[in-house]
Structure 1
Amino acid sequence: MSIWLTSAFQSEHWAVGDQTWSRNPATGVFELADYKGWGAPPPACDPLDLAPLVGARVSADAADRAGQSVALFPGPFKFSPVTGKALPAPSTAHRGTWAPPFGDDGCADDSPHGLRLTAAPLGLRSTLTVESLPDRQLAAPPAGHYQFLVSACQTCDARLLALEFARGRIYHWLPHSERWLELRPAGARALGRSTLGEQAWGVAVHDPQGASRIFMPTDDGLAIVSINLIAGTFESHVVGTRCLGAPVLWQGKVYVPMLQEDGKLGIHGLDPAGTSLRRVEGPGLDAASAAWVRPLADRRQIVWMSAAGQLVVKPGAGDTLEASLLPWPPGVVPSFELGSPYLSRSGHLWQQCMLQDDGKGREEGQRFGFVQLGLQEPEIRPASSPRLSTGAASFQLDARLRIAPWFDADVSMDSNAGEVIIPLLESTATSTVLCARVASTMPADSLFASNEAHTATFELHGENDVQFWVARLPRPWATQPFVYAGHLYLYHPDKRRLPGWRIDP
């Protein structure tokens, strides 16, 4: 620790680790002057929002406060330099992370990514009922459609960030003030907008805990975003051209489909620490107008899917990679609205599709099947009825039977069940599945095409099934779950509050 005086105001400056604090000799008041070279917090910053971010100690002693609401001291200070009294320990920091949309940090190369699976534990107390009040409620961010990121962003406390990709906005939830703060661009470049759909947009995060670089697709190119929670700002550096799909972190690099100057689609990769793009070998693909859903990745390949086919990146000769477009087999139409592809026990990914190659129109009947992804001539396994999936767990549309793909193939769908269970998210840590039970007698395709309000019961399936919330919502399957500060939250753009339930350890 070192101390020096400024020449202009004769304030003391204290260097404490990676922080610099200023002290007014007349009042003894300490103020944060710099954190890791990121500058000082804005004057309007509430000290109780700031303290957990920097690990500061808080004193409410009148002698320490010098007329302010509270006094802050550097974390290493165990005693007040004003009174000599012991200072309270810094508040307990939250260290959990969440990468949108399903809490998949994409860091492990030995497991598939892009499914509705999270390693975050999802466990609610068994005494909850639909009449129980949420344990916490957050105000919703300004009107829009959001994805949520939880990260410390290289500070001492993990914070909740709301990303409005259609407008290029980022909001920071201030837990003490209980309000959303819009982060400002630190330079001249604002964050570009993205016209990708809800099923297509996603981010790649190199370091989920620090989130020093967040890779976001925009219509201007791939935005490399660094967030400064102390100053309430962000910096954005854009590389490449318009992103036609979401980026993915795979084998240590970030890959993203982009629109090339010739109007075709190309896959580009970059090192997470750099800004130099390199095009993946392969022909220019006439698929620039396709709506590509969020990518899947396993140790073998990356797959972006659309109605036009599968955009695949695989290892080629030597150390090279090759990109290709695999059309769906004749008569096969992918059903993205039914949830994630399935992960079989052998580790292969299968997409649920409608099979229309029997000459029958949709009015005469539908057949469903599972198509193995990433193959020029894929295996197709028929199913008796559609399933709704997180990737590992699946539910038949009679709302009563949880099954795995291509098992119980003779069980028929009960069209008179009157409700459908829609799995939203599965925890691999606790073997629990978050679901929305929707009251409806519509056929599956009509239900998912509908914007009318439905009564939905949210429940957690596991060793003990728990029903914990009921709401009437349009498109309740669009509800975004996320985990923040030890609570499971549910976000729906039509709700002005985000209810949260404490996660049992």
Structure 2
Amino acid sequence: MAYRWETPASVWLEDEHSGQFELLASEGLGRIDRHAQARGRLPDVARLLGASLPTSCDCAPVYPEGFAFCPNCGRPLDRMTAHSTPADWWGPHSDLFLPRHVPHGLPVTSVPLADSLEQRQSVPHVGRFDVAMRVPPNAHCVFAAAGYGFPVQRLLALAFTRGVLQYWDPMAQLWHVMAPEGADDDLVFTESGYAWLPAFHPQRGEVAIVPTACGLRRLWVNPVNESFRTEPVLEGRIVAAPGQMRSHIACLYQDGQGVWLWSARSDDSERQGYDCGDVPAAGWTQPFGYDGRLFWLHEQGQLVWRPGEAPRFMPWPQGWQPRLSFGGPTQSRDGRLWHIGHDGLAYSFLELGADRPQREPIDGARLGFANLLYRRGHPVVDEPWSGEQVEDQQEDESLVQPLLRGFNSDRSQPSGLVLRFHKYTGRAEDALADRVIARTTIEWIGRRNVILDEVARLSRPLECVPFVYDSILWLHHPDWNQIRGWRLEELS
């Protein structure tokens, strides 16, 4: 016989002979597999559920939520109550806390990184990473750090090209590959740049709306079982990742009649569909939002949509090709968005979202986005087409690739995380491809420039993924055998 204990969120069974507690059910988690409650997973499970752990007794390895003393020996227990958690991280493309005058969907974050990173020793001192984390088994992935309705923050790594969801157990310092609960729970998506729509007021276990090969799905996780499930939001072949403009969400999908733009409010009401005409059915960038509109970019043109209106596809001018790998759109001082491209003879910036776009010629490639722009090793601090600001002539032989801009309303000039390729004089396109860079430094550029680390023989730098988890700035590359991290003490 087993005694049944009911807490506000869970149901536990206590074996009358052994005194061991077994989790039977918990809100939002669905079926609980008793074999999943291995002793090595209990410290993490207890923190997730807010359960209690023993401190000095061996009567049971875990106790239901709210237990302050062992019912067998009376010794005190460690109650896993919720503590203040760091800010959620869904990738810089999903930061909804940015002001409206900053484009949403670009690698720009409102997490205050500069205040901490700029306390480190500045250039020319070369730093080293503070902590390291194991690389996920499936290394080509995007990261999310959030609570998902639980009282503590946890890290997920989604390898979307293979449909593999991975969960970081911070107590055991291990990655767990989560198993799908049903045959329809397939997370593979390869049609465009990746983006997901996080649940900002999640129920327990609710993660995000994710694009898949068969439609938009709502993703739920069960960390106790190490499993996940999905619910359908939109059926159809997704052509481009979803985006959000204030209270509206939208994505491109394809049916037998062509490509359509599907939209709805965040509460899944007011669903609408718009015929996009003869537009490409693959190869779009992840969307970004600005001035009340969502933009998807493609090698053939741009698709622009304002909620309540029909989408418009605008091909690029004849002979002009965008350089989508150079970063992303940037702003001029009057607030317009621009994208870099090449017309076969020279580079230029083209105005986005305009029927008759203005074009501004430039004298060389510029890498970056959202005003964090570099020409070779020098910043561009005025208009996107202005000349670079030369502070050190030796940087003419380097090339800077911005990774992440840190937004701070108190700063007149942008700051951010960059890679600096030293002694590199080749084309920017080659550096961003498979060419091996002999020496690269990871730097924070701001009021004080800090070299965070040094990397030998880096290739495919566009695969570097920065993320923030547990008050640490991490940088991941699929070729590295560990993820490098720098503590953000100011966020603790």
TM bin (shorter chain)? 0.7 to 0.9
Asked if 1:442 corresponds to 2:426, the answer is yes
Question: Partner of 2:72 in structure 1?
Answer: 82
Per the TM alignment, residue 107 of structure 1 is displaced from its structure 2 partner at its CA by: 6.5
Between 20-29 and 165-174, report the one with greater CA deviation: 20-29
Cα drift, residue 166 of structure 1: 0.8
Between 1:300-309 and 1:284-293, the stretch displaced more is: 284-293
Partner deviation per Cα, 1:236-259 (whole Å, 9 max, x = no partner): 234232111110122323211112
CA contact (8 A) 1:56 1:90 kept: yes
Residues 1:465 and 2:449 are matched in the alignment: yes
Could you tell me how far apart the structure 2 residues matched to 1:140 and 1:432 are? Answer: 28
Normalised TM-score (structure 2) = 0.87
Quick one: which amino acid aligns to residue 420 of structure 2?
A: R
After superposition, the Cα gap between the structure-2 partners of 1:192 and 1:411, relative to the gap in structure 1 and judged at 3 Å, is closer
Cα distance in 1 for residues equivalent to 2:286 and 2:315? 17
Match of 1:214 among 205, 208, 213: 208
> Residue 396 of structure 2 aligns to a residue in which SS?
coil
Match of 1:496 among 472, 475, 481: 481
1:246 aligned residue: 241
Aligned to 1:480: 465
User: 1: CA distance between counterparts of 2:266 and 2:7?
Assistant: 31
Q: What's the CA shift for 1:313?
A: 0.8
Counterpart of 2:103, as a letter, is P
Residue 50 of structure 1 and its aligned partner are, at CA, apart by 1.0
Partner residue, 1:322 = 310
Once the two structures are TM-superposed, the CA of residue 345 in structure 1 deviates from its matched residue by 4.3
Task: Report the Cα distance in structure 1 between the residues aligned to 2:28 and 2:210, rounded to whole angstroms.
Answer: 25
Instruction: Specify the SS of the correspondent of 2:62.
Output: strand
- Deviation string 1:213-233 (CA, Å, 9 cap, x unpaired) is 522222222222222223322
- Which residues of 2 match residues 53-92 of structure 1 at below 5 A? 53-62=48-57, 65-66=58-59, 71-90=61-80, 92=83
2:381 is the counterpart of 1:403 = yes
**Unaligned residue ranges in structure 2 (runs of 5+):** none
Q: Secondary structure at the match of 2:439?
A: strand
Q: Which residue matches 2:144? A: 149
Partner of 1:307: 299
TM-score normalised per structure 1 = 0.85
Match of 2:280 among 284, 288, 291: 288
Taking the aligned partners of 1:149 and 1:118, their CA distance within structure 2 comes to: 14
* 1:368 aligned residue (339, 348, 369): 348
- 1:96-111 to structure 2, matched below 5 A, reads 96-100=87-91, 102=92, 104-106=94-96, 110=100, 111=102
**d(CA) in 2 for partners of 1:416, 1:76:** 60
Q: How far apart are the structure 2 equivalents of 1:276 and 1:227? A: 27
* C-alpha displacement of 1:390: 3.3
1:158 matched to 2:141: no
Greater mean alpha carbon deviation, residues 187-196 or residues 485-494 = 187-196
CA distance in 2 between counterparts of 1:27 and 1:120 reads 48
Q: How does 1:265-276 map to 2 (within 5 A)?
A: 265-274=259-268
Q: Is the 8 A contact 2:56 2:75 kept in 1?
A: no
SS of alignment partner, residue 287 of structure 1: coil
CA distance in 1, matches of 2:202, 2:365: 38
Letter in 1 for 2:378: R
How far does residue 289 in structure 1 lie from its aligned partner after superposition? 4.0
Q: CA RMSD in A?
A: 2.9
Change (3 A) 1:443 1:487: same
1:425, distance to aligned residue in structure 2 (A): 0.2
TM-fit CA distance, 1:278: 2.8
CA distance in 2, matches of 1:375, 1:407: 18
2:32 to 22, 40, 50: 40
Question: CA distance change for structure 1 residues 128 and 187 in 2, over 3 Å: closer, same or farther?
Answer: farther
User: Which residue of 2 is the match for residue 340 of structure 1?
Assistant: 328
1:14 aligns with 2:5: yes
The reply to whether residue 394 of structure 1 matches residue 386 of structure 2 is no
Deviation at 1:108, TM superposition (A): 6.6
CA distance in 2, matches of 1:86, 1:429: 46
**SS class of match (2:454):** strand
CA contact (8 A) 1:259 1:288 kept: no
Give 1:120-159 correspondences, 5 Å limit.
Answer: 120-122=111-113, 123-124=116-117, 125-127=119-121, 132-159=127-154
Matches within 5 A, 1:156-235: 156-197=151-192, 200-207=193-200, 212-235=206-229
Name the CA distance, whole Å, in 1 between partners of 2:107 and 2:360. Answer: 22
3-state DSSP class of the match of 1:268?
A: strand
Aligned match of 2:103: 112
The alpha carbon displacement at 1:82 in A equals 3.4
Quote the offset at 1:446 in angstroms.
2.8
Contact 1:454/1:475 (8 A) holds in 2: no
Q: Secondary structure at the match of 1:51?
A: helix
1:39-66 CA-partner distances (Å, limit 9, x unpaired) = 436233611111221122322313xx22
| Deviation readout 1:289-319 (Å, 9 max, x if unpaired) | 452111111242111011111111124xxxx
> Which whole-Å CA distance do the structure 2 matches of 1:231 and 1:436 have between them?
39
User: In structure 2, the residue corresponding to 1:246 is in which secondary structure?
Assistant: strand
Q: Please list every run of 5 or more consecutive structure 1 residues that lacks an aligned counterpart in the other structure.
A: 1-8
Matched positions, count: 471
Q: 1:5 maps to which residue?
A: none
Describe the shift of the 1:407–1:141 C-alpha distance in structure 2 as closer, same or farther (beyond 3 A): same
Higher mean C-alpha displacement, 157-166 vs 445-454: 445-454
- Residue 437 of structure 1 and its aligned partner are, at CA, apart by 0.6
Larger mean Cα displacement after TM superposition, 178-187 or 380-389? 380-389
Deviations 1:109-144 (A, max 9, x none): 835311110112223241489765432211111244
* 1:31 aligns to 2:18 (yes or no): no
In 2: Cα distance, 1:484 partner to 1:246 partner: 24
- 1:349 paired with 2:337, answer yes
